[in-house]
Amino acid sequence: TGNPAIHTFASWSLGYNVTVTIKDGTGAAIRTYIILSVKNDVPPVPKFTWTPTIVFTGETIFFDGSTSSDPDGVIVDYLWDLGEGAPQTGIGVLHTYSSPGVYEISLSVTDDSGVTMIMPMAVWVHPALALTASSNATQGLAPMGISVNTQVSGGQSPYTYSWDFGDGLTSARPNPIHNYTIPRVYRVEVTVTDSLGRTASQVLNITVIARPVELTFLGFSEITLKVGGFLTAMSAFPLMIFMIVRRRK
């Protein structure tokens, strides 16, 4: 009784006969009939994946809900909670995580009958591949030896290393030693690649300086001039003799 009346049907049927009886204060009544079809609605099934499957900070991730389905209708709304920021809508969305950690994410789908289902999951966000390279010296006299090293974090181990020393020589060691003999500025570049193919690079400039020339005094010598057919020794103008010496370590 009452207006309005609320009722829950326990099972589905194509034809429930609903009778409505209205009485006034004198007891007079009028009846009307309504045939209701109660549908046995099957809820939608939310499903989603993300690409790439291993997530790193700073990378754009595509969340795809296209594998969601509704057995007896169509999905009309997709709502994403990606663990940070405002919710997003759409069958597929893009997102970039700036901090590593575990994020609780979910996809809510609503079908054309208004039924909503939620699928929660967790995504692990790893630190991005990072590289720091250094040298024990960046400037020195030729011949010059350097010892370079790398510090790598994030990404997915194991790592591979590629050094280009700028003089045509290379190395695949993480912490190689190299010698330079020709004075100039060398551009040294190291690239680290993780097991997933992600790379990080850094450049070092190494300046090799030529050793200074030293003069060694050997003594004096007289200058001999030919004047009017005669040879004359002019001791008043001594000539100092030097020898060029390159000092090596």
Residue 33 clears pLDDT 50, i.e. is over it: yes
User: CA 213 to CA 209: how far, in whole Å?
Assistant: 12
Beta partners for 134? Answer: 149
Percent of the chain with pLDDT over 90: 66
Instruction: For CA atoms 165, 166, 170, 174, give the dihedral sign.
Output: positive
One DSSP character per residue, 169-191 reads -EE-SSS-EEEE-S-EEEEEEEE
* Residue bearing the bigger pLDDT, 177 or 19: 177
Examine the pLDDT at 182 and tell me if it is beyond 60: yes
33 CB-near residues (< 8 Å, 6+ apart): 17, 18, 19, 20
Q: 236 pLDDT band (50/70/90 cuts)?
A: very low
Q: Structure pTM?
A: 0.68
CA-CA distance, 177 to 189, in Å (whole number)? 14
Distance CA 65, CA 82 (A): 13
Identify whether the C-beta of residue 128 lies closer than 8 Å to the C-beta of residue 147.
Answer: no
How do residues 49-81 score in pLDDT, each as one tens digit? 999 999 999 999 999 999 999 998 999 999 999
CA 60 to chain centroid: 8
pLDDT one-digit tens code per residue, 116-141? 999 999 999 999 999 999 999 999 99
Helix (H/G/I), strand (E/B), else coil: 217: strand
191 within 8 A of 172, measured Cβ to Cβ = no
Q: What distances in angstroms separate CA 24 from CA 5, 21, 182, one per listed residue?
A: 18, 10, 113
What gap in Å lies between CA 184 and CA 99, rounded to an integer?
A: 42
- For the chain, which domains are there? 49-126 (2.60.40.10), 130-209 (2.60.40.10), 213-246 (no CATH)
Structure tokens that stand for 1 in this block: 């009784």
C-alpha dihedral over 63, 64, 69, 75, to 10 degrees?
Answer: 80
Q: Is the pLDDT of residue 94 over 50?
A: yes
Query: What is the average per-residue pLDDT within 81-102?
Result: 97
